[in-house]
Structure formats: C-alpha cells, structure tokens
Structure 1
C-alpha cells in the first residue's frame, strides 16, 4: 500500500558505508567538508547580527523562492562562479539535494533521462525514482563522453541529462570546455534539458565556465550550494534557471517551506561581508594538497591504473576485486571507504571511492597502506 518510490527507494551506499564504518580510525569515506574549515566564529557573529537587524522577521515563514536579501547577494556572487543572472531567475533551496528533489518533481513523470556513469547516487536518486528509463553515459578524463551521448540521441529521446561538471563525485574529473559548449547545442537540437549540478565550483580552482554560461536557449538548469565552501548544516543552495522553470520551482518549494529563514539571512550576511568569496582560493589549495597526497600515495603503493582526480574530495580507483569484500576486510584494519558499485548504472563492481575531505595527511598515507593490505587478503 505504498507508492512505487516507497517500494524502490533504498539506503545510499554512502550512508551504508558510514553506518558500518563508525568505529574505523581512518575515514576515507566521508563526503562532508573538513570540519576544521567551517568558519564557526564568522557564522556565530552573523547569527547575532541577523537577529539584531531583523528581530522577529528572521524567524518568520520563508517567502516562496527565497528571501530577497539573499537572492540579491547570490546575484552579486554569480560572477565568482563564472555566471551572470541575465534573463534567468534565482530560486533558493535547502541545499543542492533539495534542488534536485524539486527539479525531479517539476520535470519527470516516468520519463527517459541520461546520466553520467558513474554518478552521485544520492542526488541522482531524486531523478531516478521519478523516471522510467535511466541511460548511462560513460566518463573519461575529460568528463562525459559526448560521442556516446550523440549515438544514443539518434535513436531515443530523453527529457533530462544530469551532469556533475566539476570535481565529479565520485570520479573527480572535470568536463572539458568544448564538451560543455557541445552539450548546450545538443540539448537544443534534440529538445532536452540539462541539470548542471555544480556544488564543488567554489572550491574547484581554475575550471572552465559553467555549462550554463554557454546556454543561449534556456536549456540548462544550474544548481549550486554553500555546503562545500561554508558549512553543510546550514542547508542553503540555489537554482539558476529560465523564468518559467524558476517560477514553477518556487511554487513547488512552497509545498515544504523547508529552507530556513534565518539561515538564508545568515548566508546573505556572509556573502555581503565577503566571508564566502575570500575563502575560495585557500580552501581549493587546502583540498588539492590532500588530494595530491592521496594520488601520490596510491602510486607509491602500486595503484597505477586510475584516472587522476583534478579537484574536490574524491578519487575513484579500481581495486580489481569485489569492493564490498575489500571494504569488509578494510574495516577490520580500521579503514573506511565507499564501495562504488552503487554509483554505476552499469559495471563498477570492483571500484572504490576514496575521500580526502576529513582525513589528515598522515591518515591518508596510512589509509592507502591499509587498503593495499585489505586487498592482499582477498
């Protein structure tokens, strides 16, 4: 007596691995930003300033689509992401995950969609559960393989294409600029929309302009959040889309009113003070240092056959053995990671996602040694 979604929804591999790995000493599984980087003092001061300025207004119901103060500050923030508002509208959400849920409700009713293979299963599920067919498009070092997508578009129509262009989760690759331009043209030619999920851009360093930057047709819906650059628990993100889509999404968002009013004012305050933009370069360098340590450690321990991650938190590697069995052995040694097969629509049984987000430099080095040991026991 439940819906199809109620029957089909399952625990995510990230959540499952996290539950199983609570006792592990070394955490190469987490997708959360490093808690040491959360600007607690700035956030605390912002709450005080917001309450003093807005009083009871800070605790009222949020308006549909977001508070005007925050929307204005996000518009000023867009150039730091390589974007301009133009003819588009900004719609505030409770993080990128909420945005995906709203977009799934708006676009999909047993439709055909295409998605990178692998993809981030937690956000993709919001689309997957409302679609009828999910078509996997493989990745390489330059992101989604356009030629494979073209071949598919010649024989089947799709409603949406879901893409993570920067610091891909879990693959770590960056979509090339040429492919970004071509995707927009394909969307117009074959009459589909692109959801550009871009939460890592604020910490990505030098990457190509967003797919949305090349969008002349209103075909791209851009999704971002402040979770990676600031703090995930504040739960604030946004959508940039053409007016028709944005207005409808705002109405759907009213069904849950989930985006906290006071947190919107806090983010607005931090944007206005430059706290967020001033952190971008430092945080990129901080994570890149740890990511390079991971890649060097993998090579030192004999893991030579993997696509090098270019930014973000994650490195995807092929363990050459069943990743869940290796995971079980790794836990015995005090190491956690995420078996990556659930991130794949096709294949991936031997793949693992390693994360540098919360681990220290020494823990990363030790974790790779333990991973090698866990594999050798299989």
Structure 2
C-alpha cells in the first residue's frame, strides 16, 4: 500500500500543458525562460573555465548546504542585486527553488495547517499540501494577498506556514504592494507563523518593492530564490535564506540527497563574480515586459478583458468565462497549448487559464490569442 503522498500525488497541469506544447505549433504553456535570451554561450564558457581551473574538485560530492564559494557569491553579489537585506541569517544552496520548498516542508510540517494564496503555484504548493492536515486559501487581489483575510483567519486558526509569491505571481501575474509586505511580516510575528517568500522572478522583474524578508525583525520569513529564470532552469541551482537555527537543520536535510550539482554550483558562482547575472537582470525585465505587452494588447484586441495586467514576469491569468479544460481541448486542435488553471486554485478557478509569454515569439503570441478566441467561440 502506498503512503499518503504516493496515493495523493497527481500529474501537474503545468507538466501536462508542457507535454502537449511539444506536439503543437504555439506554446503559451511553458514556464521555461525564453530560449532567445538564455546565455548558453556564457554558461558553456563557464563550464570550461571551472573544469580547467578547479579540476576534480568541481566533480566531487558537494558539502552540506552548498559549496562555500557559491554561498559567499550569493551573499556578496546576488542578495544585494535582489535588494535582500539579512541580519544573522544563513544561506543554504538547493537544487532549485522547488527543492528548497521540499526541504522547508520536511522541516516544518507534520499534519499542520498551512496558508496559501488562492490561486498559487500548484507544483510548489503540492509539497506542502501533501504534508499538511489543512490548507487555507487566501484570495489574491490586484495588489497581492488579501491581508485582512489572513488577519481574520489567523485569529481563530493556528497556521504553521504561509506561502506567498510576492513578485510577478505565478499564475496570477500580480505584484504585492509594499504595505502588504510589511503587514505580512508583522502578522507572522504577532500570530506566530512562518512565511515562505517564494521570489524566483525578482532577478528579471525590474523595479519591484523590497522583499518581505526586509521587514522581518523576528526571524519569521524564509526567503527562497533561484537562478532558473535569469540563467537556466536545467542548472537546478536555488537557495534559501533564513534564521540560522532553522537553516542549519535545512542544510542537514539537503545533505540527505546531495541533489545540487557541485560543478553547477561552481559555474553559477563564477557567473556571479563575472557580473553576467547583473547584466542580464537589467536586460531581461525589458525583454519580458515587451512580450507581455504583445500578449495583453492581443487579448484586448480579441475581446478578452478579464485579466490583471502583469507588471513583470512570465504569466498572465485570464478568465475565459467558459470551462478552461473544454477550451484547452479545442485550442490543442487548433495548434495552441496553454495551462488550464483550475488546479492552481483551492477554491474556484474553473474558467481560468494561465498564459505564458516565454517560449512563443511575438507573432506566435498574436496567433495563439486568435486561436484561443476561436476556441472559446466554438463552445
């Protein structure tokens, strides 16, 4: 008999949309960065330089919690770029942000209550959901999570973790206001819960408010970042920053699987030192902003009006006003893949679709929206 996790795990709608995307002409489903701006040549050169200069040491087991060289590079070069201020915190390197969520969930959760935005990123949330007894959904507005709702419910229900995506929300596309960030940090202290601040899009977001972590004076916020959106997701390098006592335990949990590649850690460290990531960050936000404008303009021109206009990131959440799975099946016939967004919601979401701007070229985005309109009209 399988465990609870074995029984309850399901195929992610993101994975399904990505699988289908390989078989159709236009991909508005994928969460991969745009191949046109992925620094493949620079990454190749970094691998060669690491192997030449570091040799076998780059190919042995990594230390618990990450290579010291990368941790130092993150603390010195990346956190200041991200506007993340820390006190006596500790940084742990992980195999991408998703691995960080897995480790944090392992550390904190044992049939506890978790709070989550509604909608939320289903793939990351699943690792918490499968270890929690109850998951409380908090609505997402145009300026982020409904803090009043969090305040009200935490007065009557004890939660262990609150999971939020403050910038370029996946899938909602919204960015949390600075006022709400301050309130969340204060509420975590007052109501004694921990916050997982999932912030993988900040490196490509342009100007966004300071992290929730910056307003945390009590060690209640764990900041999770990633190099997947700014470099390449296949490198599988992310990190988490939090209270030292907690992160020391997280580093021991990371050691259990040693899944974060040693050579990849050295490569990312080198690219940080060379300033490539800083240079990319300044260019990426404009690139994705331009593509998002193509999407929003195309939606408006085709009669779609129920969406929040994202200020940054890869994704837009659209209300199709019809069952999104039915629209999806029609769209695939026409050569388009997107992600039906119902699984991102704990409550509602039957008519919602997540559209991505990353893999499709601008003209493909326009044609994809036309296919989407025809698919909706056929139902």
TM-score (norm 1): 0.99
Q: Residue 86 of structure 1: CA displacement?
A: 2.1
Give the corresponding residue for 1:69: 69
Is it true that 1:346 corresponds to 2:356 in the alignment?
no
Give the corresponding residue for 1:35: 35
**Secondary structure in 2 aligned to 1:63?**
coil
Give the corresponding residue for 1:253: 254
Whether the 8 Å CA contact 1:315–1:355 is kept in 2: the answer is yes
Is it true that 1:84 corresponds to 2:85 in the alignment?
yes
Is it true that 1:95 corresponds to 2:96 in the alignment?
yes
Q: Alpha-carbon deviations, 1:35-80, whole Å to 9, x = none?
A: 1211111111111111112111111100001111101100012111
TM-score (norm 2): 0.99
Q: Alpha-carbon deviations, 1:189-227, whole Å to 9, x = none?
A: 000000000000000110000000111000000000000
Give the corresponding residue for 1:209: 210
Give the corresponding residue for 2:54: 54
**Secondary structure in 2 aligned to 1:348?**
coil
Give the corresponding residue for 1:126: 127
Q: Alpha-carbon deviations, 1:338-376, whole Å to 9, x = none?
A: 000000000000000000011111011111111000000
Whether the 8 Å CA contact 2:21–2:30 is kept in 1: the answer is no
Measure the CA separation in 1 of the matches of 2:85 and 2:372. 44
Measure the CA separation in 2 of the matches of 1:293 and 1:101. 35
Measure the CA separation in 2 of the matches of 1:376 and 1:4. 41
**Secondary structure in 1 aligned to 2:197?**
strand
Give the corresponding residue for 1:186: 187
Whether the 8 Å CA contact 1:31–1:313 is kept in 2: the answer is yes
Give the corresponding residue for 2:270: 269
Give the corresponding residue for 2:138: 137
Measure the CA separation in 1 of the matches of 2:57 and 2:367. 50
**Secondary structure in 2 aligned to 1:74?**
helix
Measure the CA separation in 1 of the matches of 2:84 and 2:90. 12
Q: Residue 309 of structure 1: CA displacement?
A: 1.2
Give the corresponding residue for 2:18: 18
Measure the CA separation in 2 of the matches of 1:71 and 1:177. 28
**Secondary structure in 1 aligned to 2:93?**
strand
Measure the CA separation in 2 of the matches of 1:23 and 1:372. 20
Measure the CA separation in 2 of the matches of 1:2 and 1:364. 42
**Secondary structure in 2 aligned to 1:276?**
helix
Give the corresponding residue for 2:301: 300
Measure the CA separation in 2 of the matches of 1:374 and 1:97. 33
Structure 1: runs of 5 or more not aligned: none
**Secondary structure in 2 aligned to 1:308?**
coil
Whether the 8 Å CA contact 1:226–1:236 is kept in 2: the answer is yes
Measure the CA separation in 2 of the matches of 1:53 and 1:22. 38
Query: What are the equivalent positions in structure 2 for 1:273-352 lying under 5 Å apart?
Result: 273-352=274-353
Q: Residue 305 of structure 1: CA displacement?
A: 2.2
Measure the CA separation in 2 of the matches of 1:14 and 1:83. 29
Measure the CA separation in 2 of the matches of 1:107 and 1:84. 24
Q: Residue 18 of structure 1: CA displacement?
A: 2.0
Whether the 8 Å CA contact 2:86–2:214 is kept in 1: the answer is no
**Secondary structure in 1 aligned to 2:156?**
coil
Whether the 8 Å CA contact 1:70–1:265 is kept in 2: the answer is yes
Whether the 8 Å CA contact 2:96–2:227 is kept in 1: the answer is yes
**Secondary structure in 2 aligned to 1:207?**
coil
**Secondary structure in 1 aligned to 2:308?**
coil
Measure the CA separation in 1 of the matches of 2:58 and 2:32. 27
Q: Residue 85 of structure 1: CA displacement?
A: 3.4
Note the aligned Cα RMSD (angstroms): 0.7
Give the corresponding residue for 1:221: 222
Measure the CA separation in 1 of the matches of 2:332 and 2:2. 36
Measure the CA separation in 1 of the matches of 2:21 and 2:34. 17
Whether the 8 Å CA contact 2:85–2:213 is kept in 1: the answer is no
Give the corresponding residue for 1:366: 367
Question: What is the aligned residue count?
Answer: 378
**Secondary structure in 2 aligned to 1:217?**
coil
Whether the 8 Å CA contact 1:75–1:84 is kept in 2: the answer is no
